[in-house]
């Protein structure tokens, strides 16, 4: 049984260095098994419940694919309108009920803190698949896994993060993992969508070099990785603000040509217009490979927290 057995995955700060390296090495092993088309029975007889109270394509389907690839089974609420949440049931009551049906629960919810609240209500492990503008730790794990694969290392990199850094939960999770490997970070956001100050100060307290600016071209000239995010329309109270800010930064080939040679471009997806389609054929455009890495990372997490590996 692993150190992660029985644990919830709610945030990246909660994951120890040893646990992180165990997750990455387990994922690499599962990736090899997937490539070799091996049949796995690691999770035979186990059930994953996916509860998604917000839209999802990659996160839900890659968790479900991961469970199926491990030989387990999946039950899911993909549309909250069809669950008892629509009748006014509390989140805690729903989760407590589902914990009686499944061995592990993956939840996405619009409210920050909903995954932690679910974990308190559940007696099986709960994985946070995005809690509002809070965190998205499994995305950050697959992001780190992707950086390691694309760059061949994690130490000493300069990473630019651009877009809606205020509301983007993937970056809120990712920066804590990047910090452990001594990354230098450039935060580039439109006015009003900057990285929350408490995250910036927590990083600076850990002696991470962080710069904040609005000059994307300058940032990419010295970056090994560019991590692009979508302006999070669903978090805006006033649609006019979204309209004003939505196309603040667009990564196109003209920008890529001015960037540091060999720059890796990542995006958690979905994209709206923040990366031009013309960039997709650039060899450092890693975002679809990044999405595929969600399966081995989530296989590793499911197996480790249910004590199967």
Catalytic residue numbers read 58-59, 87, 108, 136
Give the footprint of ligand NCD on residues 90-119 (CB under 6 A).
none
In what helix (H) or strand (E) does residue 163 lie, and over which residues does it extend?
none
Nearer to ligand NCD, 99 or 295 (CB): 295
Could you give the residue ranges of the DSSP H alpha helices within 39-168? 58-69, 91-98, 114-121, 137-151
Spatial separation of the C-alpha atoms in residues 30 and 19, rounded to whole Å: 16
139 binds ligand NCD (CB under 6 A): yes
Nearer to ligand NCD, 2 or 170 (CB): 170
- Count the Cβ atoms, other than its own, within 10 Å of residue 232: 17
Where are the extended beta strands (E) located within 175-272?
184-188, 210-213, 225-228, 264-266
Binding residues for ligand NCD, total number by CB under 6 A: 11
47-52 vs 73-77, strand pairing mode: parallel
Rule CB under 6 A: choose which of 230, 298, 308, 309 binds ligand NCD: 230
Spatial separation of the C-alpha atoms in residues 84 and 90, rounded to whole Å: 9
Give the footprint of ligand NCD on residues 167-206 (CB under 6 A).
169-170
The one-character DSSP state at 211 is E
Nearer to ligand NCD, 2 or 59 (CB): 59
Rule CB under 6 A: choose which of 171, 269, 301, 302 binds ligand NCD: 269
Nearer to ligand NCD, 137 or 268 (CB): 268
Name the minimum Å distance from CB 168 to ligand NCD: 6
Q: Which residues bind ligand NCD (CB under 6 A)?
A: 58-59, 130, 136, 139, 169-170, 229-230, 268-269
């Amino acid at each position: 049984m692993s150190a992660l057995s029985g644990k919830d995955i709610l945030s990246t700060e909660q994951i120890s260095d040893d646990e992180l390296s165990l997750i990455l090495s387990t994922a690499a092993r599962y990736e090899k098994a997937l490539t070799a088309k091996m049949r796995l029975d690691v999770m035979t007889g186990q059930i994953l419940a996916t509860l998604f109270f917000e839209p999802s394509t990659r996160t839900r389907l890659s968790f479900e694919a991961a469970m199926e690839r491990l030989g387990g089974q999946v039950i899911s609420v993909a549309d909250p309108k069809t669950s008892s949440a629509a009748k006014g049931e509390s989140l805690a009551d729903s989760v407590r009920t589902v914990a009686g049906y499944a061995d592990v629960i993956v939840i996405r919810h619009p409210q920050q803190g909903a995954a932690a609240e679910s974990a308190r209500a559940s007696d099986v492990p709960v994985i946070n698949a995005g809690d509002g503008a809070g965190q998205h730790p499994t995305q950050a794990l697959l992001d780190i896994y992707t950086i390691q694969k694309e760059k061949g290392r994690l130490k000493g990199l300069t990473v630019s993060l651009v877009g809606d850094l205020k509301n983007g939960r993937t970056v809120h999770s990712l920066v804590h993992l990047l910090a452990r490997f001594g990354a230098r970070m450039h935060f580039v956001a439109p006015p009003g969508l900057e990285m929350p100050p408490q995250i910036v100060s927590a990083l600076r307290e850990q002696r991470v070099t962080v710069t904040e600016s609005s000059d994307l071209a300058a940032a990419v000239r010295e970056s090994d990785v560019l991590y692009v995010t979508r302006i999070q329309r669903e978090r805006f109270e006033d649609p006019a603000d979204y309209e004003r800010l939505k196309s603040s930064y667009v990564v196109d080939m003209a920008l890529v040509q001015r960037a540091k040679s060999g720059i890796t471009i990542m995006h958690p997806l979905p994209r709206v217009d923040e990366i031009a389609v013309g960039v997709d054929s650039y060899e450092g455009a890693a975002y679809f490979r990044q999405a595929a890495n969600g399966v081995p990372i989530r296989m590793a997490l499911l197996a480790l927290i249910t004590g199967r590996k």
